[in-house]
Chain A
């Protein structure tokens, strides 16, 4: 069975069809878009600190500690609503170039975050309180913003090519 055939099964399933044909579909769509505020909207503020652009008098680790709980909550909401939306349009999404770009950008953003947590943040004690962190940290911040902007753009452009 090809991936496309699996996606078609998912899309044509009872659950997929009920979601797609539901009168409340617009609420699911809205919840996915608005939880952007809590996920990407929150990570943006951390990235600004990592870039040394904002909240320079707060330790980088402290900004992360204060925001991360809410940010992860936002990403969980995005994931749940995203899975349900995909369920309703699995095959259409799989064939859509912007959907694939969106997932590529998301993958790169996640890899960037993982690299930062595993590697860059090891020496955090040395620069945590610095108003402007070292270049590696700043690059991670800019890369994160660019990748998530790409996710938003690709996600939006999916709607015009469905």
Chain B
């Protein structure tokens, strides 16, 4: 067990605060993904180009991801043995890995292009919602499975 994990675990408030920051990160991340996906579907902010809207949402969405990626492992470090037995945790990690690869490849590419085909945009938006909300659902399931 790492010294940081030990500190967080032995500080019940520390673990609780880490989970609060995880939730802040998820709200920023999922909120940004949700609204940007709506733009990719052509449902909101259509008078602004995809790349303009992409620039509007990108920074804070990334901030949410960074916050989640820091606070998540903080919680994990404190409860590693308990998470080891959780099938929800392992599924969450797998979906998270795919989501991160997707985010820094197809997603980043599509939100910068103004001439991507509508089908590709819709697919990218749908996949983003599926992956990131999938991470969220599995993450919530950790407490139960």
Q: Which A residues form the contact surface with B (CB < 8 A)?
A: 25-26, 29-30, 33-34, 36-38, 40-42, 44-45, 48, 54-55, 58, 66-67, 70, 149, 152-153, 156-157, 160
Interface residues of B in 112-145 (CB under 8 A from A): 133, 136-137, 140-141, 143-145
- Chain A CB within 8 A of B20 CB: yes
Cβ-closest chain A residue relative to B48: A58
Query: In the bound complex, do residue A33 and residue B45 qualify as a contact, i.e. CB atoms below 8 Å apart?
Result: no
CA separation between A41 and B60, bound complex, in Å? Answer: 11
- Chain A CB within 8 A of B78 CB: no
CA separation between A62 and B60, bound complex, in Å? Answer: 20
Cβ-closest chain A residue relative to B12: A160
Q: A54-B56, A58-B48 are in contact. Are A26 and B143 (CB under 8 A)?
A: yes
Query: In the bound complex, do residue B30 and residue A37 qualify as a contact, i.e. CB atoms below 8 Å apart?
Result: yes
CA separation between A26 and B23, bound complex, in Å? Answer: 17
CB distance from A34 to the nearest CB of B (A): 5
Of B1-9, B31-39, B79-87, B100-108, the one touching chain A: B31-39
CB distance from B140 to the nearest CB of A (A): 4
CA separation between A62 and B65, bound complex, in Å? Answer: 27
CA separation between A30 and B138, bound complex, in Å? Answer: 9
Query: In the bound complex, do residue B60 and residue A54 qualify as a contact, i.e. CB atoms below 8 Å apart?
Result: yes
- Chain A CB within 8 A of B99 CB: no
Query: In the bound complex, do residue B16 and residue A156 qualify as a contact, i.e. CB atoms below 8 Å apart?
Result: yes
Q: Known contacts A45-B35, A48-B60; can you find 4 more A-B pairs with CB under 8 A? A: A36-B26, A45-B60, A58-B45, A153-B20
Query: In the bound complex, do residue A26 and residue B56 qualify as a contact, i.e. CB atoms below 8 Å apart?
Result: no
Cβ-closest chain A residue relative to B19: A156
